[in-house]
Amino acid sequence: MIVSLSDIRNYMDISLTQRQEDAATLILAGLQSELEAFLRRPIEPQEFVEEHRLDAMHTGVPMGTFLTANDNVYNESFTTSSPRQNVTQYADPPPAIYFKNTPIVSIEEIKVKPLFGTERVLENELDYVSRPYGIDYYYGYADDLITVTYTAGLDGANIPVLKLLILRAASREMQNMHDDVVGVKDLNTRNTGPLITGFLDSELSSVRKYRRVRV
């Protein structure tokens, strides 16, 4: 989580019992999840594993198809494993694979499993090119199954406004919890109205620029 128990203690200038720390941890985790749902992206780097299958109608067009034997130095290299060094480099634009989570921090591994064939690990800049949204994939054929392991997410711990929003919402939640507990112990309702829980519309509007836009 980008907001720690120490952060909430300092922000509210309070001390917490063990039970209150457990409750605060639940509140902080829930608010971060709520904020990520609004922004449509993780607010701290996390590792993800996704599977993507190429379109069944996809057909790669080798560059060598349009070149004569004298012009095409790759005509004798049909067994080469690198698509950028043989005829499996496409004349058509390569298929773009869009990852579900952005911004992409790093790509740990990409594997391809052909419909008929053995699984292999792809090499960056040879079989694919990394993009901010995902990859351009050069090795693909129809119905290939691509498994991607990557890290993505905002650096929320270093974006002050994201931490501030969670602290504000958490302090309201914890104040409501405190008022309810004290009221029960006193066997009397306290003369205070409950604070709004969750994020205010104005707060969410202030971080809209970090929201992932889907088209």
Tell me: do 141 and 184 sit in the same domain.
no
- Residues 6+ away with beta carbon under 8 Å from 56: 142, 143
pLDDT confidence band for 44 (50 / 70 / 90): very high
Tell me: do 58 and 125 sit in the same domain.
yes
- Whether this prediction's pTM lies above 0.85 is answered by no
Domain hosting 142: range is 46-152
Q: Determine the 3-state secondary structure of 98 from DSSP.
A: strand
Tell me: do 124 and 204 sit in the same domain.
no
Tell me: do 112 and 130 sit in the same domain.
yes
The residue from 152, 172, 188 where one domain ends is 152
In angstroms, how far is CA 37 from the centroid of its own chain? 11
188-204 burial, b for 16+ CB within 10 Å, e for fewer?
eeeeeeeeeeebeeebb
215 in a structural domain:
no
Q: How is residue 83 written in tokens? A: 């698509």
- The angle, 0 to 180 degrees and rounded to 10, between the axes of the packed helices 5-12 and 160-186 is 70
The residue from 110, 136, 152 where one domain ends is 152
- If one counts the domains in the chain, the total is 2
Return phi, psi of residue 103, to 5°: -75, 150
pLDDT single digits (tens) 102-136: 899 999 999 999 888 889 898 887 888 888 889 98
